[in-house]
Amino acid sequence: MDTSAIPRPAAAATRPAPAAQRVYRHRLPVRVMHWINVVCLTILLMSGLTIFNAHPALYWGRDSNFADPWIAITTAPGPNGPTGVTRIAGRQFASDGVLGRSRVGDAAAPTARAFPSWATIPGPQWLSMGRHWHFFFAWLFVLNGIAYVLYAIFSGHLRRDLLPTRDELRHIGRSLWDHLLFRHPTGEAAKRYNVLQNIAYLTVIFGLLPLVIVAGMAMSPRLDAVWPGWVDLLGGRQSARTLHFLAATGLLLFVLVHLFEVLISGVWNQLRSMITGYYTVPAAARRALRNERQRP
Amino acid sequence: MTNPPRRIISSGRAPRATSRRSALRGALAAVGGLSLAGCDRLSQNTEFVDVLKSAQDLSHAAHRLVAGRQAMAQEFAPADVAAHFKANGTLVPADAEYHALMQGGFKDWRLQIGGLVEQPAQFSLAELRAMPSRTQITRHDCVEGWSSIGQWKGVQLGHVLGLVRPKAEAKFVVFRCADSMESPAAGRDSTYYESVDLDDAYHVQTVLAYELNGQPLPVNNGAPLRVRIERQLGYKHAKYLMKIELVDSFASIRAGQGGYWEDNGYEWYAGI
């Protein structure tokens, strides 16, 4: 039986309360795979934007209806020459300086390009190099993801940490409310993922990530030949390109919320726990005391 | 090792949270800036780029494994054909030799086939049109990201290869084209070229196309003849074909990467 499931109090925790209790929260494989994900996802998102920039428009269907992309990031004539614009579903938004036209590095004049150079790898528009970065790290990301899912299943991480209990699901409303008030779990509850985390992680691991990978594969003409027509299940190759972009946007949103949560819930404690594995459990008593002091 | 409580409540104020936060912000910005500049520097490093490019061989091997050597590209119905098939790359070759052929309605054009073959040959457009043909409606996927569906008619490359009989040591088919990609001022040979392995050369859907959507192939799309390599990206589908050459290696051709775009950094295996 897997005994490491029980949070192990660290040496320091043998001191009397309310001194911080430390628990071993993230095991080594999870920590290593987490940081591989950080590197891969950053590079994939940014090199993906380089690839998008080569044809900054998205369509729905089997091929490209050039007259009617549902999103296009381009330039339009303005009173002082071309200006950056973003068109979504027929509506045009001014986005000069960031989307459609922006300065590359220290250049004096802006360049027509969809996403700005600070968001792309490499910085200057260079499609072939963006592809090399993207496909190398796509392999690493997928292999790491497969390793993680296998680990999660066979180590019990999935059942123990990722799947919410029936009780947690019943009190999801309460958990949501606490979250919106920035009340973070303390004591025993802080030792495990809360139910919102469970749902977010499961959505990413078994929803967004498979979608981004399958939609990415659907853009490969050779993989389309595995079973001619399978790409139509996603609506066709251009729909797959759209889904790949939307799923990547979803992953970016997840990362932003994840970073925000880390920042407001004790950033050093959280960072250390993902590096060394040890997490200092916020004591309920101390939290209550502080809340009292803050009351006017 | 003991770990002191992170915050001392009795002090009545959060200890230097602001400076910590700004330090973190600064650190993140520095790491971000450094790594971005680092990525751009790494992109110039040949050894590093070779490591990145190694993924190409992995993809090719994996694709061969799951998608078989003879797997067929999807074919579509006439209703799926795009109203306007997008043309890309060279639209009208500027080369004088090509212009002379075009003026004459390609009557003097000949497709030369040579290299590692038992019986080098050349074929006129009429001779190619008289050979057995294949018509297919396929999707053209550009490396830039867009797709267009068109109907192609032509002779299978495998049929033509059967006539010239490649030698046993032939491993690749090289396509030589009429269009120069750079201005003559550059003073070097920049005519378009491409290459594929024998899997793709003998594939059922690999045709030398002389018709697009029921019409003679337009100049914008590669008149009089272009090759269709249906399971790879658009830049493999060489236009304005002049010569087909069988070789055992393309290492000694130009920059040695197997094609004009390959010499400019793109993958030789363009199935992804």
Helix, strand, coil tally for chain A in percent (to 5): 60, 10, 30
Mean pLDDT, all residues of chain B: 91
Pairwise CB contact (< 8 Å): B73 & A224: yes
pLDDT of residue B26: 76
With 60 as the cut, is the pLDDT of residue B3 above it?
no
Helix (H) or strand (E) holding B261: helix B260-263
Q: Does A191 reside within a domain? A: yes
My answer on whether A85 and A28 are in the same domain is no
Question: Does A13 have pLDDT greater than 60?
Answer: no
Same domain, A227 and A205: yes
Over 60: is that where the pLDDT of A1 sits?
Answer: no
Q: Quick one: closest CA in B to A217, which residue?
A: B272
Does A9 reside within a domain? Answer: no
Say whether both A235 and A135 belong to one domain. Answer: yes
Residues of B in contact with A289 (CB under 8 A): 9
With contact defined as beta carbons under 8 Å apart, do A186 and A279 qualify? no
Beta carbons of B193 and B177 less than 8 angstroms apart: yes
Percent with pLDDT over 90 in chain B: 83
- Distance (Å, whole) CA A87 – CA A99: 10
* pLDDT at position A194 over 90: no
pLDDT at res. A11: 46
Q: Is A83:A94 a contact under the CB 8 Å cutoff?
A: yes
| Pair A85, A186 in one domain | no
- What is the per-residue DSSP string for B39-71? HHHHTT-HHHHHHHHHHHHHHHHHHHHHHTTTP
DSSP A69-132: -SEEEEEEEETTEEEEEEEETTEEEE-TTTSEEE--TT-SS-EEESS-GGGSSSSS--HHHHHH
| DSSP designation for A16 | P
In this structure, the dihedral spanned by the alpha carbons of residues A116, A121, A123 and A129, taken in order and rounded to 10 degrees, is -130
What was the pLDDT predicted at B108?
97
A150 assigned to some structural domain: yes
Cα distance between residue A33 and residue A194, in whole Å? 21
Residues of A in contact with B146 (CB under 8 A): 55, 57, 59, 63-64, 66, 238
| Encoded amino acid at A99, one letter | L
Q: How confident is the model at residue B21 (pLDDT cuts 50, 70, 90)?
A: low
Same domain, A49 and A81: no
**Residue A182, helix vs strand vs coil:** coil
pLDDT digits (tens, 9 = 90+) for B44-97: 999 999 999 999 999 999 999 998 899 999 999 999 999 999 999 999 999 999
Same domain, A144 and A289: yes
Residues in chain A: 296
Whether residues A208 and A157 share a domain: the answer is yes
Q: Do A101 and A219 have their domain in common?
A: no
A280 pLDDT more than 50 = yes
A98 falls within a domain: yes
Q: What is the distance between the alpha carbons of residues A230 and B9, in angstroms, rounded to a whole number?
A: 61
CA distance B138 to B151: 6
pLDDT, average across residues B241-262: 98
First-residue to last-residue Cα distance in chain B: 52
**B59–A contact, CB cutoff 8 A:** yes
Rounded-to-integer distance, Cα A120 and Cα A46, Å: 4
Of A123, A267, A269, the CB nearest to B36: A123
Least confident range from A19-28, A42-51, A81-90: namely A19-28
Q: Tell me: pLDDT of A289 over 90.
A: no
Whole-angstrom distance, CA of residue A88 vs CA of residue A128: 27
Residues 6+ apart with CB under 8 A from A18: A283, A285, A286, B5
Q: Is B151 helix (H, G, I), strand (E, B) or coil?
A: strand
What fold characterizes domain B71-263? Sulfite Oxidase; Chain A, domain 2 (3.90.420)
When divided into structural domains, chain A yields a total of 2
* Residue span of the structural domain in which A89 resides: 67-114
Choice among A14-28, A227-241, B205-219 with the minimum mean pLDDT: A14-28
A5 falls within a domain: no
B12, B68, B265: residue with CB nearest A129: B265
CATH code for the domain of A205? 1.20.950.20
Is residue A3 in a domain?
no
A72 and A176 part of one domain: no
Same domain, A176 and A267: yes
Task: With cut-offs at 50, 70 and 90, classify the pLDDT of residue A184.
Answer: confident
Give the nearest partner residue to B80 out of A62, A138, A266, using CB atoms: A62
A19 inside domain: yes
Say yes or no for a CB contact (<8 Å) between B80 and A121.
Answer: no
Residue A293: is its pLDDT beyond 80? no
The band of B29, judged by pLDDT with boundaries at 50, 70 and 90, is confident
Establish how many alpha carbons lie within 13 A of residue A87's alpha carbon, considering only the half-sphere containing its beta carbon: 15
Residue A296: its pLDDT value, please? 43
Q: pLDDT grade, residue A181 (50/70/90)?
A: confident
Looking at the structure, do residues A169 and A258 belong to the same domain, yes or no?
A: yes
CA atoms of B16 and A270, how far apart (whole Å): 18
Beta bridge partners of A71: A58, A88
Contacts of A107 (CB under 8 A, 6+ apart): none
Buried/exposed B200-216: b ≥16 CB within 10 Å, e otherwise: bbbbebbbbbbebbeee
User: What pLDDT was estimated at residue A14?
Assistant: 46
The 10s digit of each residue's pLDDT in A75-129 is: 999 998 999 999 999 999 999 999 999 999 888 999 999 999 999 999 999 999 9
Shared domain check, A184 and A43 = yes
Least confident segment among A47-51, A245-249, A270-274, A281-285: A281-285
